[in-house]
Amino acid sequence: MNYLEVLRAAAPETALAITVLMVLSVDLIALRGESIARRFGIGALVSIIGCLMAVMFTFTHYGQTDPLHGLLVVDPLTNFLKLVLLALTVFTVLISASGKFTEHVGEYLALVLLATIGLMFLVSAEDLLMIFISLELASLSLYILTAFNKHNARSSEAALKYFLFGGMSAAFLLFGFSLLYGLSGSTHLPEIAAALKGRGLDPLLLVAIVTTVIGFGFKVAAVPFHLWAPDAYEGAPTPSAAFIASGSKVASFYILAKIMTMGFAGAEGSAVWHGYVSGWTPLIAVVAALSMVLGNLTAIVQSSVKRLLAYSAIAHAGYMLLGVLANTPSSRTALLFYVITYALTVLGAFGVVTVVEEATGGDALANFAGLSRRAPGLSLCLLVFLLSLAGIPPLAGFIGKFFVFSAVVGADADQLGLLWLVILAILMSAVSFYYYLRVLKQAYVLDAAENAPAIKVPAVTMFALVLLAVLVILLGCAPGLLLRHL
């Protein structure tokens, strides 16, 4: 084992780790006594530089290596995903740059970066232990990020719920992993797959599958493991919620797909209509279906935009799980396209909510009234993001959905057995249009209240949001740009 090789492979993460230390030290030493805005500004600058360094390292070490036997796998796809995660981090930092919700600026930024490190390791992991460790690193950071708003009691409540649920699901996950280890004698995913081949559906294997699904189901907020999500999204400071909704989803789905398709390779079963075979596919199918239905239907009655986005996140998790269960190369590509564009979109949406919340003091629907007059650029970005989430062409959300749905149906081309799932997804997607339109109605159709406070959008945030909106439109019109790398 050549440590130099390992270091080279882990260069991006290392760079980020150093950045964490830099941010903390700069904030501690040099910026005591400065205003929060200033501290955020400089801290953000340092973080972004660090991210860019990490990006550079990712580029220069593009290649295929596996120095630690599955603990750190570097290949073009994982590199690309790391780029995406870094980009999301940069956007998150830009969006939180105006944040006044905390005095602990350095710690905040450090935690964001730590979460990113965790996610990046997660993406490169093909070993059960590594997966768990990186997942925990990311999760713990996210729990604390949720609690960051000390002025709001709901923040702590949300974080506690998140933590409790998270801890429990981590336990489930670990239990499942230990079972897997027991069954196969290894923690390395390809070896597990080889060992389990031809075993059929062992009861222990079944338990392992179920617990793994529970563990990850919690992470991606799928029904019935979603109960933490609405409160967490609502209570957390909005930039944190943005990061939870975007970055962790990308990594989690990628690794979930990897575990399911690589680790439990022989035990798929089938979720085809009239052709049920026990395995993890029908299990995920049920979870997906429940998520889509519950997420969309509950979102209809929400009056808080953050909660609305939370329930919509649950629904979108359902769509993405469809990409997992289809279990073909094209469905995995589709899944990645979907989750990446979703992450960009939802980050942007939360960004807009951050600004509005800051300016009007709340995130209720009524606070958005007349947004198109008060902040035209901002509401235009909101329009793009929400329509993309609804799946209106020619935005990225539509193409993502089209990819996933066609991949799912195409998985069983002869009998179109998975069509029932797609029908459900499409119908629920149609339902989702209603609640997204409600928000847009507030912004575009209704007039602002008489004494509505003016909305001033910080330049940096506006820049980030516009860039995200442009990306969403671009990827919708020319999806090839992204597909090339998947």
Partner 1 sequence: MLAWTIYISFIGVLVLMLLPREAARAARIIALLTAIAGCAVAFVGAMQQANPGEVITIVKVPWIPSLGANYFLAADGISLVLVVLTGLAAIAGILFSWNIEKRTKEFFAYYLALIGGVYGVFLSFDVLLLFVFYELTIIPKYFLIARWGSTRKEYGAMKLALYSFVGSHLVLIGLIAAWVVARAQTGHATLDLMELSKVSFPLGFQHWVFPLVFVGFGILAGLWPFHTWAPTGHVAAPTAGSMLLAGVVMKLGAYGCLRVAMVLFPDGARMWQGEIAALAVIGIIYGAGVALVQKDFKFVIGYSSVSHMGFVLLGLATLNTIGLSGAVLQMFSHGIIAGLLFAVVGRMVYDRTHTRDFNDLQTMQLGKLLPFAGVTFVLAGVASMGLPGFSGFVAELQVLMGAWKVFPKTTMLAGVGIVAGVAYTLRAVQKAFYSDAVVPEKSGHDHPLEPISMPERIGAVMLITASLVIGLFPGLLLNWIQPCLNSPLFERLLKGGLL
Q: How far is the CB of 25 from partner 1 (least distance, A)?
A: 47
Residue 1 as a binder of partner 1 (CB under 8 A): the answer is no
Residue 275 as a binder of partner 1 (CB under 8 A): the answer is no
Site for partner 1 in 373-392 (CB under 8 A): 387, 392
Q: How far is the CB of 476 from partner 1 (least distance, A)?
A: 9
* 353 vs 404, beta carbon nearer partner 1: 404
User: Residue 76 CB: number of other CB atoms within 10 A?
Assistant: 12
The interface mask with partner 1, positions 234-273, x = CB under 8 A, is: ----------------------------------------
Residue 479 as a binder of partner 1 (CB under 8 A): the answer is yes
Put residue 185 in one of left, alpha, beta given phi > 0 → left and psi -120 to 50 → alpha: left
* 419 vs 466, beta carbon nearer partner 1: 419
Number of residues counted as binding partner 1 (CB under 8 A)? 33
* 474 vs 483, beta carbon nearer partner 1: 483
* 261 vs 442, beta carbon nearer partner 1: 442
Q: How far is the CB of 384 from partner 1 (least distance, A)?
A: 11
**Residue selected from 109, 125, 399, 468 as contacting partner 1 according to rule CB under 8 A:** 399
* 50 vs 323, beta carbon nearer partner 1: 323
* 249 vs 438, beta carbon nearer partner 1: 438
Q: How far is the CB of 226 from partner 1 (least distance, A)?
A: 24
Q: Give the separation between CA 40 and CA 46, rounded to whole angstroms.
A: 10
* 214 vs 408, beta carbon nearer partner 1: 408
Site for partner 1 in 400-439 (CB under 8 A): 402-403, 405-406, 409-410, 413-414, 416, 419, 422-423, 426-427, 429-430, 433-434, 437
**Residue selected from 150, 154, 197, 441 as contacting partner 1 according to rule CB under 8 A:** 441
**Residue selected from 41, 190, 362, 393 as contacting partner 1 according to rule CB under 8 A:** 393
Q: Give me 376's structure tokens.
A: 């035209």
Residue 330 as a binder of partner 1 (CB under 8 A): the answer is yes
Q: How far is the CB of 396 from partner 1 (least distance, A)?
A: 12
Q: How far is the CB of 430 from partner 1 (least distance, A)?
A: 4
Residue 366 as a binder of partner 1 (CB under 8 A): the answer is no
Q: Give the separation between CA 469 and CA 466, rounded to whole angstroms.
A: 5
Residues making contact with partner 1 (CB under 8 A): 330, 387, 392-394, 398-399, 402-403, 405-406, 409-410, 413-414, 416, 419, 422-423, 426-427, 429-430, 433-434, 437, 441, 444-445, 478-480, 483
